[in-house]
Amino acid sequence: MANGRQLGKQNVEKFLAWLASRGNDDLQKIILRGALSRREIAAQCGFSVSVLNQNPRIKAELSRKEANLRKMGILPGTEKSSQTDNAKPHASLGSQSRNQFAGYDELRQLELENSSLKAENYKLKRQLDKLALLHEILATTGRLPR
Q: Cα separation of 81 and 95, whole Å?
A: 24
pTM of the model: 0.52
Torsion angle defined by CA atoms of residues 110, 108, 26 and 85, in that order, rounded to the nearest 10 degrees: 180
pLDDT tens, 82-107? 444 444 444 444 444 445 555 667 78
**pLDDT at 78 (0 to 100):** 66
Which residues, listed in sequence order, are joined to residue 36 by a DSSP beta bridge? 31
pLDDT tens, 12-28? 999 999 888 888 888 88
Residues 6+ apart with CB under 8 A from 80: 34
Q: Are 14 and 46 in contact (CB under 8 A)?
A: yes
Name the stretches of the chain with pLDDT < 70: 1, 78-104
Q: Are 107 and 63 in contact (CB under 8 A)?
A: no
Q: What amino acid occupies position 107? A: L
